[in-house]
Amino acid sequence: MTFSPKTAFARFKVSGLFFARIFIDIFSAFVSHLVASYVSIAFDKLMLKSPVEWNYAPVMVWGGLRGVVTIALVLSLPIELDYWWTIQSIGFGMVLFTLVVQAMTNSWVVSKIDFNKKKRG
């Protein structure tokens, strides 16, 4: 099968379900980053006696920009793959969210956290 933009775009239809898939991806990435950040801080505190405080976690969660690996993976997908366009669009949607929303609001998140105050944990 040869690639033709006309056939690729003919199979692609923007619908509410399409955008729901992107939002599900964003939500699942956020939740997994949330769990990973808090678990790693707990592990550092219990096992390694690390001085990382709990109030650093929101910056770790919100500041975790994911883009390079996602773009590399979706661009490496073969065009013959079923739902190629959908997978690629979800990947690009996630990267756009991290670059536009998360990157532009990182300074706001950092300004709202008092790093000098230690939370009880």
Mean pLDDT by 10 residues, the chain (121 residues): 52 66 86 89 85 83 78 89 86 88 87 73 49
pLDDT for the residue 81: 87
pLDDT of residue 120: 54
Helices H, strands E: what count in the chain? 6, 0
pLDDT of residue 110: 87
Among all chains, which residue has been given the structure tokens 């040869």? 2
Within 13 Å of residue 76, how many CA atoms lie on the same side as its CB?
Answer: 6
Q: What is the dihedral of CA 23, 24, 30, 36, to 10 degrees?
A: -170
Q: What is the pLDDT of residue 3?
A: 54
CB 51 within 8 A of CB 118: no
User: What gap in Å lies between CA 33 and CA 81, rounded to an integer?
Assistant: 28
**Residue 68: Cβ within 10 Å count:** 9
